[in-house]
Amino acid sequence: MVISRTPIVLCCLAVTVGFAYGAPQKPEVEIISQTNDVNPDGGYKWSYEASNSIKAEETGTLKKTNDPENPEVIVAQGSYSYTDPEGNQISVVYTADDEGGFQPQGAHIPTAPPIPPLIQRGLDYIAANPSKDSQ
């Protein structure tokens, strides 16, 4: 007895196609505006805005340093914003350089609590009076 596999293959194909077309489709995101400028000195400026409310921009400038291995570095400043899955608007402003690294600021970014005054006084005392062993 010979059983044709064609009906089984067609049935599996129909189920697969049915799942693909029945699955919820994510909306396509389009770029509304975009800029990208590069200066001869190495500085730059770019920005974009997407149809899903994502926005970003950054400016980079060349900075001279005292480091002979890296006599020039790029210092960047920028921002980005988007809507999180809960519907909250998230906005971040940042700087990035060779001294402080990436330094973001935003209302949603957690911050450490202030140092209690008594502990701060102790830290100030230690800084003003280093031990002889650490010298």
H or E segment at 104? Answer: strand 101-105
Sequence-ordered alpha helix ranges (H) in 23-135 = 117-128
Q: Which amino acid is at 7?
A: P
Average pLDDT over residues 70-89: 92
pLDDT tens figures, 100-116: 899 999 988 888 899 99
What are the start-end ranges of the H helices in the chain? 6-22, 117-128
The residue among 85, 78, 33, 80 whose CA lies nearest residue 60 is: 78
How far apart are alpha carbons 76 and 110 in whole angstroms? 23
Q: pLDDT at residue 129 above 50?
A: yes
